[in-house]
Amino acid sequence: MNAPQTTAPDETPPPATVEARVTPMMAQYVEIKTANPGSLLFYRMGDFYELFFEDAELASRALGIVLTKRGKHQGEDIPMCGVPVERAEEYLNKLILAGYRVAVCEQIEDPAEAKKRGPKSVVKRDVIRLVTPGTLTEDALLDARRENVLAALARVKSGEGEDGYAYALAFADISTGSFRVAETDALRLSADLARIEPAELLVPDAIYDEPAFKPIWRALPAVTPLPKDSFDGAGAERRIAGFFQVATLDSFGVFTRAELAAAGAVVAYIERTQLGARPPLNRPRRESSTDVMVIDPATRANLEILRTTTGDRAGSLCAAIDRTVTSAGARLLGRRLAEPLTDPKRVADRFDAVEHLASETSLRADLRARLAGAPDLARALSRVALGRAGPRDLAAIGRGLTEGAAMAGLIAASPAPLELTQAAGVLAGIDPSLAEMLQSALDDELPLNRRDGGFIRPGYHADLDATRALRDESRRVVAALERRYVEETGVRALKIRHNAVLGYYVEVSQQNADKLREPPFDAIFLHRQTMAGAMRFTSTELAELEAKISSAGDRALALEQRLFDELASAVLDQADAIRACAEALAVIDVTAGLAKLAVDECHVRPEVDDGLDFYIEGGRHPVVEQALRQERISSGGPFVANDCDLSPPERARAGRIWLVTGPNMAGKSTFLRQNALIAILAQAGAFVPAKAARIGVVDRLFSRVGAADDLARGRSTFMVEMVETAAILNQATERSLVILDEIGRGTATFDGLSIAWASLEHLHESNRCRGLFATHFHELTALSQRLARLVNATVKVKEWEGEVIFLHEVVPGAADRSYGIQVAKLAGLPHAVVERARAVLTELESADRAAPTQRILDDLPLFAALNRPPPPAPASSVAKADPVAEAVKTTLAGIDPDEMTPREALEALYKLKAAAKGG
């Protein structure tokens, strides 16, 4: 922590008449600002946080507040702006979203204490917290239904991997306490970061500056480079052990050097930003790289798993299936969708729990009713540990523990599957005395902040009750003392009065004054003032009462603060149990929500095993189906379910690839996406929108659907398409599921057809994966003649009186055309354009387009054969001029593919064919 600043004779900004000198207050500000580079400094002055100099200029633009000038510093006007302390969280949120970090500098002494050092002494101040995107804990700054992850990437020399380094990620959410570590590599890094979605990523300086990583950093909301020593592997173990207050990490499990370095960086950054406060983190849990389905960033974006391509939650898969009633449950659901499992046993355990609550209607309803009253235990606990909690956080913890115990009883009342039984066991193990204490101590109506007081229930603490009575009922207390004095002295005209000079005093008439001067009353009453017709006295008891009354409010608040600290300490004593309870409640919420989804939407339990099957009967798109039912899309009917079977044929050791053709708007992309989403749902442990499903575990899911450019990185739409396609072809395995739509459409016709042709062959022969490949290149359907596991499928349409009707039904076969002109007509193209397009299409189709395709099938080897090295030429062979080759070469020399029309390209092919025959 920075040393408190004490130099100062002037608490207010210097007046404008002060020239070219550094005032004590500004010296204090500059010193604190220098100690916190890279952060905007919220400098507390009374009821405002003030910002000066460049900080003020940046903040005024980001927050839309007025920039003023007040006083001078070294002869220059001081730019200044400020925000009220009461609204600080609102402004902090705006600054964090704008990418800034904020150092919160508070007054750490009472201004009255500062005045004792001199009338113009500066109040001591210090930074109590660094606010960064990955270290937020306040509800006002967080999305309740989304994790807020701080991650760190470490790299250590290993001699392994493609670049000779070992990589690891550590990621923690200090608002909930989760803390995990996992190995990664340079190829998989972007996919892992897309899965984790860190609000802030810590990286070593060396990695941050490497050009190869720049595209990854650009895709993240906040990346913080740190010095190399923050990732010091040698000191990481000691740093982690110190944070968790253990002598050794042996009980935590086995970690690699890179994992320890990443975890140590997270811990060090938390300690630095929280300035000594310790959030209640779980011990780091190691994840295996094979535990979850790998989904790269492009696939996540294409499938809109957690958010749509515009960044909205509404319209995503998560929003469509979310039936949770707690924010913790919503966060867990999002994590499960982001990290589908690859272990069939763990998936089956989730299925069992969902099936149980789907069949037990009454139990499901009771649990959901209880959950609706359960607060966010994990985030409330984190604020308690960091000293940022209010009375409502303590009450939330007590209420959550009470509801948890009740749910444990509901589940235990009948046999339940493993996942529910384990959750109930955790809830039943909570000590009920803590919840009882919190309930008895905290009032029903609670303020937001502890500093407001009034949160301890009357009757909980006798001294507090007496102090409050004195504060709130001083008139009654004074009247009671007055009555007692009247009874003791017998002077019925005795009055206790108050004024600003004497305070409280006893007043009697001159006739009765002598009685108070005589024994035994002269030892009690002391003469203070003689008035015309009256005399005033005081007493030791009255003076003490006056002191108590004047300080009763402060003493009541101080007592409440002490009691708050005692309650918070009792909560932290059971932090591990409370955190486990929070996790159990989230599991129950997700399970009950998925059970309700299954019942409401007619989802079924899929089979998930270690095989290579992928069979979906009557599959439906979970998002589109709901949109149709809610009439957000006017398509004129219910969702049309379709089958999909990518399972290996008999005796084959690899899955099928479906080549899907059909017109635009017929539903090809929807069909492709729905099968990918069904795989995600199944391996996340959810029932799926289908009549039946059997899925062999998918290790990696790839989807390239749709197109967009990336001009910031100098990439055209076609380049983006090729980069994504390259990632698929380089990484897909036989256990992968690949969804490809319209490969090659972003370039010239024959270029695109060639790329799509070669890609399809590569998927079939080299990757050997299960896949769906949608295309408008109808020539590709001929490949089914020579690729054994390639199946043609098409989306049915019906033509009626010159119009096309989309039936959205996927059937075996191939489409002979794309009906693009009909779709253009539906889009509103002018009639003249549509008719001219028909005429041009008729002319183009008049030639026999099958001839070049058949030639490729007959004469060109398969992709696998092309990859084999050519046989060596005989030593005695002598190069001779080949007239056919010369003719082909001459023909090719006169061709410019980028400038050719489809008809010219076809004619060129015929010339090449003629040359090849020697004609």
> Cα-Cα-Cα-Cα dihedral of 50, 51, 57, 59, to 10°?
-80
| CA distance between the termini of the chain | 89
Per-residue DSSP letters for 804-852?
EEEEEEEEES--S---HHHHHHHHT--HHHHHHHHHHHHHHHTS-THHH
Residue 792 labelled as part of a binding site: no
- Three-state secondary structure readout of 378-392: HHHHHHHHCCCCCHH
User: What is the C-alpha to C-alpha distance for residues 831 and 302, in angstroms, rounded to an integer?
Assistant: 34
Strands (E), 540-672: 607-609, 614-619, 642-645, 657-661
User: What is the C-alpha to C-alpha distance for residues 822 and 804, in angstroms, rounded to an integer?
Assistant: 7
User: What is the C-alpha to C-alpha distance for residues 128 and 815, in angstroms, rounded to an integer?
Assistant: 68
Residue 665 labelled as part of a binding site: yes
Q: Is the peptide bond before 520 cis (omega within 30 degrees of 0)?
A: yes
Place of tokens 């310790």: 278
Neighbouring residues of 67: CB distance < 8 A, sequence distance ≥ 6: 56, 57, 60, 79, 80, 81
Helix, strand, coil percentages for the chain (3-state, nearest 5): 50, 20, 35
Residue 669 labelled as part of a binding site: yes
Where are the alpha helices (H) located in 39-179, listed in sequence order?
53-63, 88-97, 111-116
User: What is the C-alpha to C-alpha distance for residues 128 and 113, in angstroms, rounded to an integer?
Assistant: 20
Spell out a b/e string for 625-658, using b for 16 or more CB atoms within 10 Å of the CB, else e: bbbbeeeeeeeeeebbbbebbbbbeeeeebbbbb
Residue 331, H or E segment: helix 327-338
Question: What does R_g of the chain's alpha carbons equal in angstroms?
Answer: 38
Residue 885 labelled as part of a binding site: no
User: What is the C-alpha to C-alpha distance for residues 789 and 647, in angstroms, rounded to an integer?
Assistant: 10
Assigned token pair, 156: 């250590």
One-letter amino acid of 350? R
Residue 664 labelled as part of a binding site: yes
User: What is the C-alpha to C-alpha distance for residues 683 and 698, in angstroms, rounded to an integer?
Assistant: 8
Q: What are the residues facing 53 on neighbouring strands?
A: none
Neighbouring residues of 180: CB distance < 8 A, sequence distance ≥ 6: 170, 171, 172, 284, 285, 286, 287
User: What is the C-alpha to C-alpha distance for residues 301 and 248, in angstroms, rounded to an integer?
Assistant: 42
Residue 867 labelled as part of a binding site: no
Handedness of CA 516, 519, 525, 526 (dihedral sign): positive
Q: Which residues belong to the annotated binding site for ATP?
A: 662-669
Q: Which residues belong to the annotated binding site?
A: 662-669
